[in-house]
Structure 1
Amino acid sequence: MTVTAEPRTLTFREAFREGLREALAGDDRVFLMGEDVGRYGGCFAVSQGLLEEFGEERVRDTPLSESAFVGAGIGAALGGALPIVEIMTVNFAMLALDQIVNNAATLRHMSGGQLSVPLVVRIPTGPGRQLAAQHSHTLEGWFAHVPGLRVVAPATLEDARGMLATALADPDPVLVFEQIGSYGVRGELAADPGPVDLDRAAVRRAGSDVTVVAYGGTLAPALDAAAELATGDLSAEVVDLRTLRPLDTATVLESVARTHRLLVVDNAWRTGGPGAEIVARVAEEALDELDAPVERIGAVEVPVPYARQLEEAALPSVGRIVEAARRAVA
């Protein structure tokens, strides 16, 4: 008799933790380091219980110096380890820009291919939790600008659970941007979700009237908007980018060739953001496919407010996505 495992209900926080536990258990070269990842269990409780399970050699609390411990992670990777470095929130990643951009991203090139930096940096990111202007940034686009880095943004439980394993297998540095607003969101995870492909975007909902491109924290509102549009006989195809560098332009172009309309949704500010790059590539490679001007939704260009109603007003919403999709089709 064949026993089929049932899907499980869990939070994104628990899915990320399962990925970490599997990585630590599966390879002695893997270790986790960062501020409060051990005894405190992580700023967002993702690493809770891992110190007790794997010990202080494998789960290491660090001093409050992002440049120092990201640099230590680069050195460990060069020495043959597989370090997972957690930066508490994305704004603190600015304190490690020199290590990430000048060292991790360049060493393979500068050594003529002799050096690999198999480093994974986990970075909680994004708005939605009333963490105010200094802790609500969406800066994935900054890092996606840099050759030598892989930049990924898990938006589903399957990707939250499985992206880490694929990232650890990459010989080059991978930055994993985890949505702070999603940690407590509960959903259903397949019993055997399989490996995660970091090279291809995913069509999360098929459609025929308009392509909606999203990633990370904007995937959920994009899917909700597509469901609302469907009640009015408008069919939206939702593409989850998953990886911002290298960008899977082909999947986006294939979708635009089917729908002939494009809407890009991004929690980052519009100016110079990932959404602008998507629009530019479609304009360069598939302009003749478009039957309407491109629609683009981003965060309002102000520091993210603390007050909940102002924060919500500053960010892409289901209502704004629905309106933009209807404009594109009209």
Structure 2
Amino acid sequence: MSRSPSRPTRLTALALALTMTMVAGCSPDGANSDDAVRIALIPATPPSLPLIAEKNGDFTAQDLKVKISSLPSTSITTFAPALGRQYDIAWGTPADVIAASAQGHDITVIAGAYVDSDDRSQAQIFASKSSKVTSLAGLTGKRIATPSLSGTLYLAVLTSLKKTGVDVKDVTLVEVPFPNMLDQLNAGRVDAIATIQPFIGGVKAAGHAALGDPFLSVASPTVAGMWIADRQWADKNPKKVASFIAGLNAADTWVSSHDQEARSFLSAALKLPPQVMANVPLPDWDSSISSDALAPWIDAVAASGQVNGTLPKSADLVATSEKG
């Protein structure tokens, strides 16, 4: 459980989780009939901490009932509109959270989830070993695979290229799901890919050239995942928010002294081969966040021109507990 001295240190909370059950216990109007906190996330390593908290009884110790839903990564953009209806708390990534706010959804960031850094990198751009490309500058004229043509990783790739002097108009960005990227790269259908853990290990093992972590082109270190809630729900339920945070922080503490047990559990939960999970750098889970952490992402969104509407101010996105 490392802590970077340059990281924001205020608002506490941290969460990531996964389970194969869908949300239950909702009345027809979206109200939560059994008072459980309904959590939505995607099945990946960064959003897996709530599952550990649930397994260890950390939520129960806080007298908090939870119902956790795991949905495909393509569902992230639907999380914000569903807050206050289907879900109470959801996994969010910077670009999606900023876009949802610009579209008029009244959401608030209740906690950070993890921090991406050189030491605990969760993303990477790779060039095909056959392309002979050894730097981002060499990607001019190349085909680059990203998981979608929107969202945080896509935004980070655009930012990386721009800061390296590569005109986005001079590359071809194509949508390829994470599990298919290595095959596409090996087959020469794309020249480079932007991928995340736990897929990075397999790409490295195949001998392709790592060109850098695109998230760090936005800020280094950077908060690349967070937990969000409908603002009215968060304001009305401060005890549940605090209990959620406390449960996740307890799970984070447990992982720091039970590395192998955590990896074994996540291997089964995320359906990853044990040999893959054994070598994946675990996320630098951290529940702290401040508006300063979101400001670079808002600047990146503005520079990309991806989002229509009025972009939020970073101070307005973070839960009011940061402001005293």
TM-score for both structures, normalised by structure 1: 0.27
- If asked which structure has higher relative contact order (CA below 8 Å, sep 6+), I would say 2
TM-score for both structures, normalised by structure 2: 0.27
